[in-house]
Structure 1
């Protein structure tokens, strides 16, 4: 059984944790099956100091997970149809987080395709390229997964390390936001076909 990354991994600032997450594996144990993808694209958000962050205006019922211990899943709903997965970071009370923007499928691709309503054998990018797609492919929802401790070995959702090291990491401004649009805190593995946004540094 893979060992989840420890809570200490999530203690540094969001930009540090975001880059360290690239190449790590996310696994969701779903009805006895393991659905696994490698993290290839992320964005860092800085809480109270970041106008684009959910926590910028303070703690609410919606974003309370971000203010808790590091290493918790923060799942939110957007556009009335998609879920997005984040991980809290920094010490409790400091609401930093990392948005997982894209995965490269590793295990359970037939189930991922079914959950996405696609035919088995489709291109991997169609399964997990984009925040909404990857949540569908892994079967993640706010009701079931928001607030899960991903550092707990008993958790159905966790992050682990198989030793993979990205050859090159690129950074660009974050995408899909209206505030702090020039902050260069979107990070991705150079050359990976599952990256969801622009694939060159701006």
Structure 2
């Protein structure tokens, strides 16, 4: 016997119980199904276990066995196995098909969520690297140029301090820009 409708049984049971206003609790554990059912029934002090029985036949029944039969053998309390009629099975299959199971949404993180902010940051970084590169090249190729005195200091020290101050200004400008972009995003979300 094959399943006519491949569906997550737990999802269907939860959806159906919710539709019928039946309170339920979902317990997820790993292990042999019959053993887990009996273990949980013992934990909560159940007096009755009600379950469906598919009554598998052939090789599937031989290899897998019937869970309700195993629960009946292992359980210290009463087990009520309900075998649905063909009409009931058809009803369940139509019900399963009528529910629109939400497909899991796979969210892939955008490495650059705000392209405008990214371009601003890259522009500022390029500006810093260009000034630092020019300073390094000038220091290597024109050693005499950086030795010139400006305000009592040589040009190398003044240029180095200018690059550091420029980096601080770039960082502050970037933080201000990122904050203003973040505030714009919040205003758009809030409908302002």
Report the TM-score, using the length of structure 1 for normalisation: 0.17
Q: Which has the larger radius of gyration?
A: 2
Structure number with higher helix proportion = 2
More strand by share: 1
